[in-house]
Amino acid sequence: MKQKDKSTEAKILEAANKVFVEKGLDGARMQEIADEAKINKSLLHYYYRSKDKLFSEVFQKVIKTFLPDTVKIFDSEKSLFEKIETFTLEYITLLEKNPFLPMFVLHELSQKPIKITDTFSGFFDNLKQNQFEILKFQIEKEIQNGIIRPIEFDQLIVNIMSLCIFPFAAKPILMKLFFGDNKNQYKNFADKRKIEVADFVIHSIKVKN
């Protein structure tokens, strides 16, 4: 092994992340997390007082992955079309590495917004206004310049998010509906989305001459 043995705490967080993300808060079992981390179940409670506390730690980290710092991509001098291409490619690639993330985040936030909200509502506040202002301004400018057709900022962003995220959340359905549970066919489809999404969006908003 190249790596030194991870600390118990790190092993727990890693195992908890895996089990919670795959099974959800309700579906996850402390025993399964302990097994995954190859430690005793009591140690979970030694490091994290309760299942809820442990979940909270995991969820806070996960949400930061799911809603990444878009500043790096959007706050640049690139054209809107380039930004859309870069973002969709990078975000879909990120989700490919964490395919259960969309389902997990969406489900937990829809289930018990109360429990979870407090733990990271501050995170949302930061993201909300700061990140989008520059992009919003750029879009309005490109509309005025006749580069893209008029479209509401909210609708466009939600459209892009939908096209990126939904196929991951709906993978089992899509597998059945379109690909007869054939993994290769699905992989082929999924690969193409890395350019399809930007392609679809840009075709929709770009003003032709």
Q: Using the rule CB under 8 A, is 82 a contact of a copy of itself?
A: no
x/- letters, 156..185, toward a copy of itself (CB under 8 A): -xxx-xxx-xxx-xxxxxx-xxx-x-----
Query: How far are the Cα atoms of 45, 154, 202 from residue 205, in angstroms, in the given order?
Result: 53, 14, 5
The reply to whether 7 sits near a copy of itself by the rule CB under 8 A is no
Kindly state whether residue 24 participates in binding a copy of itself, applying the rule CB under 8 A: yes
Q: State how far the Cα of 61 lies from the Cα of 50, in Å rounded to an integer.
A: 18
Does the footprint of a copy of itself cover residue 128 (CB under 8 A)?
Answer: yes
Choose among a copy of itself, DNA, none what residue 74 binds, the Cβ cut-off being 5 to 8 Å by kind: none
143 forms part of the interface with a copy of itself (CB under 8 A): no
28 lines the binding site for DNA (CB under 7 A): yes
Q: Does 96 contact DNA by CB under 7 A?
A: no
61 binds, among a copy of itself, DNA, none (CB under 5 to 8 A by kind): none
Contact 179, 186 (CB under 8 A): yes
* Helices 80-97, 183-205: inter-axial angle, 10-degree rounding: 160
Q: Please give the single-letter amino acid code of residue 56.
A: S
Helices assigned H by DSSP within 28-170: 30-37, 41-47, 51-66, 71-74, 80-97, 101-111, 113-144, 153-169
DSSP at 206: B
CB of 192 to DNA, least distance (A): 40
Q: Which stretch binds DNA (CB under 7 A): 27-35, 106-114, 138-146, 152-160?
A: 27-35
Single-letter code of the amino acid located at 61: K
Q: Which is nearer to DNA, 3 or 42 (CB)?
A: 42
Select from DNA, a copy of itself, none the partner in contact with residue 40, using the beta carbon and a kind-dependent cut-off of 5 to 8 Å.
DNA
Q: Which of residues 34-53 bind DNA (CB under 7 A)?
A: 39-43, 45-46, 49-52
**Distance separating alpha carbons of residues 135 and 142, to the nearest angstrom:** 11
Which of 73, 67, 26 lies closest to 165, judged by CA? 67
182 binds, among DNA, a copy of itself, none (CB under 5 to 8 A by kind): none
Q: Which residues lie near DNA (CB under 7 A)?
A: 8, 28-31, 39-43, 45-46, 49-52
